[in-house]
Structure 1
Amino acid sequence: MAAACARTLSKVGWHILESPPCRAGNIASLIPRVPLHGSSRAYRTGGAGFRSKLLFSTPLRGGRVLGCAFLFGGGLGLYQTIKLSVQHHLAEEDVKPSVGGLKLTLYQYKTCPFCSKVRAFLDYHGLPYEIVEVNPVMRKEIKWSTYRKVPIVMVNDDVQLNDSSLIISALKTRLMSKDKTISEILRCYPEMKAVNEKGKEVIEFNNKYWVMVNEAEGQTMYPEKDSRKEEIKWRKWADDWLVHLISPNVYRTTGEALASFDYIVREGKFGTYEGFFAKYVGAAAMFVISKRLKSRHNLQDDVRQDLYKAVNEWVVAIGKKRKFMGGDQPNLADLAVYGILRVMEGLEAWDDMMENTKVKSWYRRMETATKSHKGQTEPALNIDQH
């Protein structure tokens, strides 16, 4: 949400500022075609850009002033809604770091489902971490990094982990393999450059869904014959399909879009003018973007049906005899799906999903397991050596 919207609004604002004042016209004619690159960012799942007549239909006057409003309210305002500075965080409770434990710093956008996946993993395993909330427009908090997406996790301030699935796999490997350093583990996930469907060069990571354990460790982690294959399959499903259903459902109608931004503005506790523009301009922009995402991913006219179908498919895959896909305890697929779905909490889409699917029991079990750090019984990390 923060990434796609703030960047879009800032581009709109600059375009208006650079345009000569006019006496009449539709603001839609001033909106540039903003590309939506596929990336691990808040609700950003690809798209071709947008032009809309939904934002305003009244004659444009004082274009430069309005441009300032877009910039200030849309760019800075949205950042202030999620600004957390640097804070110590561990779910809703504080859990003291174990002696010799690692220092983790998570660079994130709070509303990003990929970042939420990482938080779910860290919280479940009871791993203390600090959060640095990244400005989705300027991204100055990660200016030191050549990798320009979030989440990023820094380990002991000098080992950088990129990509949510790689982060989870690498840290899980370290939890299971006490004789490996995090730097050694990272070499198991080589970085590759590829070209996406739009012809843009992107960075991919080999083996990112694999936890690199030996045979004995593998038998402990995957006691059932096909459990590893199943975990990898559904982790990929969460990244390749489920995450693409979030934005079209959260911003399905103008009312839902406004409700989403009303929550952000309320939580941000910032000025009246900034809040006004963040809410109304942001909601309008994301409403339009969500329609393009709906078309890109070939979703039904009623996108709720796609969400319901996907969630029920997940529940069926778990089956009636298991509490989680991991059996009696969540596995990495459970944590990934839970992390993605929980970014909708408090919104109409989440209420509808809970009422119209069979996911509630599993979701509540995941919520309890994550908040109570059920995975903390595993061996504590000690990665003083790299």
Structure 2
Amino acid sequence: MAAACTRTLCKVGRSIWESPAARRPGTVSYLVGNVSSRGFRRAYGTGVYPSELLSSLRTGAGGRVLGCAVLLGGGLGLYHTVKFRVQQLLAEEETKVSGGGLKLTLYQYKTCPFCSKVRAFLDYHGLPYEIVEVNPVMRKEIKWSVYRKVPILMVDGDVVRLLKRFQNTGVSSPQIKQLNDSSVIISSIQTYLINKERSLSEILHCYPEMKSVNERGKEVTEYSNKYWVMLGETEITDIYPEKGMQKEEMKWRQWADDWLVHLISPNVYRTTGEALASFDYIVREGKFGTFEGFFAKYVGAAAMFLIAKRLKSRHNLQDDVRQDLYNAVNDWVAAIGKKRKFMGGDQPNLADLAVFGVLRVMEGLQAFDDMMDNTKVKYWYRRMERASLNHEGRQD
């Protein structure tokens, strides 16, 4: 609080010093006179002084008394003006500390389902963030990063401090944290919002990076425990009041990453017409130069139409890939059941946000319309839309 007061007084002093009035001769008398003028305007309900008052100030003992009164009134007016401004600035500082000034930066492709998952999580919790749209061809926006995929969430020193609003201690020095992998980002920030004793650095140690070579001979990076929210027993009971809820959440989060995501490309690039429509959307919403956009729209659409066929074979999908999408979505709705609004009960949990984020990237495309018309997902999806739009997970 002392530091906040000091910063606030400095701001007030600077604003007064830098004002045009402060640079003219007679600054003090100008400021006092200005404040006293405002005070008399409030008292008399007019913007001018009564002539009798002005003449009395020029002569006699009464003039001296009234002059002192004017100066006193002016001083009190100035005091209250400065006091009001100090309170206003302190309120702004408090707003930042309570969450209004979060500085999260998300590096993303808008149409990437993994990036959409992270946005769904941040939006639902009402966490402000800036977006840096990455050019998918050159990727120069993330050339500073060894990790060359999106999403990347950068958490600067202010956010590390501000997220500590749930804790009794602050952060001693600014930090910048890079969070990779959509599921790690979500699990670690969720842990940080709930756990009142551990720092972000400590939490990130719970998700160690592991490098390996996949069946195609390509080096891949994975993260241990990425579906775990690292909580104590008391917190687990509060967040997951029913037995098995946490394991259910983890199961369906992994299902979204390992199965649902792989149904998106084969469905949105199912035919040449759908592939062209999808790339028209990607170019329109993404960050492409003029030539890159033209190339991506036509050459990319043709390439992805062929790649979608390979993905269908790799993931053992049916000839009509829509049926796999329908089956997956209906399995999800059946798992929620008729008695729950969401997988998390009355409020969405991390599995709800993951599935919603993945499906959302198809909006505006034929695959999305077909899914909404031919499955039972519509009512759950619309509830999720409202929850995300209204930031229903925001913590006051």
The residue that corresponds to 2:103 in the other structure is 103
The residue that corresponds to 2:129 in the other structure is 129
The residue that corresponds to 2:12 in the other structure is none
Q: Is the 8 A contact 2:106 2:151 kept in 1?
A: yes
Q: Secondary structure at the match of 2:227?
A: coil
The residue that corresponds to 2:365 in the other structure is 347
1:318-333 residue pairs with structure 2 within 5 A? 318-333=336-351
Tell me which protein shows more helix as a share of its residues.
2
Pair 1:237–1:268, CA change in 2 (3 A): closer
Per-residue Cα deviation, 1:181-213 (whole angstroms, up to 9, x for no partner): 111111111111222122332211111000001
State the distance in 1 between where 2:283 and 2:115 align: 20
Equivalent of residue 324 in structure 2, options 298, 306, 311:
306
Which shifted more, 219-228 or 276-285? Answer: 276-285
Per-residue Cα deviation, 1:69-95 (whole angstroms, up to 9, x for no partner): xxxxxxxxxxxxxxxxxxxxxxxxxxx
State the distance in 2 between where 1:189 and 1:269 align: 31
The amino acid across from 1:137 in the alignment is V
The residue that corresponds to 1:113 in the other structure is 113
The residue that corresponds to 2:310 in the other structure is 292
State the distance in 1 between where 2:221 and 2:285 align: 34
Query: Deviation of residue 374 (structure 1)?
Result: 0.2
1:164 and 2:182 matched: yes
Query: Deviation of residue 269 (structure 1)?
Result: 10
Q: Secondary structure at the match of 2:338?
A: coil
Q: Secondary structure at the match of 1:370?
A: helix
Q: Secondary structure at the match of 1:175?
A: helix
Q: Is the 8 A contact 1:250 1:344 kept in 2?
A: yes
State the distance in 2 between where 1:159 and 1:273 align: 35
The residue that corresponds to 1:92 in the other structure is none
The amino acid across from 1:154 in the alignment is M
Pair 1:274–1:163, CA change in 2 (3 A): closer
The amino acid across from 2:302 in the alignment is A
The residue that corresponds to 1:140 in the other structure is 140
Query: Deviation of residue 266 (structure 1)?
Result: 4.5
Pair 1:265–1:104, CA change in 2 (3 A): closer
State the distance in 2 between where 1:311 and 1:260 align: 21
Structure with the greater relative contact order (CA < 8 A, sep ≥ 6): 1 or 2?
A: 1
The residue that corresponds to 2:253 in the other structure is 235
The residue that corresponds to 2:391 in the other structure is 373
1:1-386 residue pairs with structure 2 within 5 A? 99=98, 102-156=102-156, 158-267=176-285, 275-376=293-394, 378=395
State the distance in 1 between where 2:308 and 2:366 align: 15
State the distance in 2 between where 1:168 and 1:268 align: 23
The amino acid across from 1:142 in the alignment is I
The amino acid across from 1:116 in the alignment is S
Query: In terms of Rg, which structure is larger?
Result: 2
Per-residue Cα deviation, 1:254-278 (whole angstroms, up to 9, x for no partner): 1111111223344569887665433
Q: Is the 8 A contact 1:97 1:128 kept in 2?
A: no
Q: Is the 8 A contact 2:133 2:287 kept in 1?
A: no
Q: Is the 8 A contact 1:110 1:133 kept in 2?
A: yes
When the two chains are superposed, the root-mean-square deviation of aligned CA atoms in Å is 1.9
Per-residue Cα deviation, 1:305-341 (whole angstroms, up to 9, x for no partner): 0000000000000000000000000000000000000
Q: Secondary structure at the match of 1:116?
A: helix
Q: Is the 8 A contact 2:135 2:286 kept in 1?
A: no
Which shifted more, 257-266 or 286-295? Answer: 257-266
State the distance in 2 between where 1:332 and 1:248 align: 25
Pair 1:181–1:216, CA change in 2 (3 A): same
Deviant stretches of 4+, over 6 Å: 268-273
Segments of structure 1 that go 5 or more residues without pairing to the other structure are 1-95, 380-386
Query: Deviation of residue 178 (structure 1)?
Result: 2.3
Q: Is the 8 A contact 1:97 1:127 kept in 2?
A: no
State the distance in 2 between where 1:335 and 1:321 align: 19
State the distance in 2 between where 1:276 and 1:237 align: 35
Identity value in percent: 79
Pair 1:127–1:98, CA change in 2 (3 A): farther
State the distance in 2 between where 1:143 and 1:269 align: 15
The amino acid across from 1:108 in the alignment is Q
Query: Deviation of residue 143 (structure 1)?
Result: 1.6
Number of aligned residues: 283
Pair 1:270–1:172, CA change in 2 (3 A): closer
Which shifted more, 133-142 or 338-347? Answer: 133-142
State the distance in 2 between where 1:269 and 1:176 align: 35
Segments of structure 2 that go 5 or more residues without pairing to the other structure are 1-94, 158-175
State the distance in 2 between where 1:99 and 1:174 align: 15
